[in-house]
Amino acid sequence: MVDKSLILRRLADLETYLGQIEEYRNVTVNDYSRDWRTQRIVERTIQIMIETCVDIAGHIISDKNYRVPDSYADTFRVLHEAGILAQDLQDALVKMVQFRNIVVHDYNKIDGEIVVGILKKNLGDFGRYKDSIVLFLRTDNVDG
C-alpha cells in the first residue's frame, strides 16, 4: 500500500519550493539572462520540483505495482495510464522532465525564453500535479 505520510511530506516539500520560486515569476528574459544568481536559483529549484514529482510518482508506482517506467518522463505516463494524471498534465510534466535533463546534463545552453516561459505559464502544473496526487490519496486505499 502507498505510504500516505511519505507522499504528503513530499507534497509539502513541493509546496515549499513553489513558494520559494514564486518571487521569480515576473522575471524578464533580459533580467534572467544577465543574472547568474537568478539563473541558478530558478533552474535548480525547477529541477528539484521536477525530481520531487518523479519521486512521488516512483513511490506510488512501486507501492501499487504498476508497470516499471523506463525513464523519468515515463513515470508520468504510468500515472496517466493508472488514471491518476490527465493527459494534458502528463504531457506538461514530460516536457518538464526534458527541461530538467537539459539543466542536469547541460545538453545545450539553457534558453532563457524557455525558463521564463515555465515561470510565467507552467508553475501551475505543479499545483495541478499536487491536486491530482491528493485526489488519488483520498480515493485510494492507502496507509497513513
Instruction: Give the domain CATH number at 12.
Output: 1.20.120.580
Tell me the residue range of the domain where 90 lies: 4-139
Would 13 be classed as within a structural domain? yes
**How many domains is the chain built from?**
1
Q: What is the pLDDT of residue 2?
A: 82
Would 31 be classed as within a structural domain? yes
Would 117 be classed as within a structural domain? yes
pLDDT mean values, one per 10 residues, the chain (144 residues): 92 97 95 94 96 97 96 97 98 94 79 93 96 94 54
3-state secondary structure string across the chain: CCEHHHHHHHHHHHHHHHHHHHCCCCCCHHHHHHCHHHHHHHHHHHHHHHHHHHHHHHHHHHHHCCCCCCCHHHHHHHHHHCCCCCHHHHHHHHHHHHHHHHHHHCCCCCCHHHHHHHHHHHHHHHHHHHHHHHHHHHHCCCEC
Would 52 be classed as within a structural domain? yes
Would 126 be classed as within a structural domain? yes
Would 144 be classed as within a structural domain? no
Q: What is the pLDDT of residue 142?
A: 53
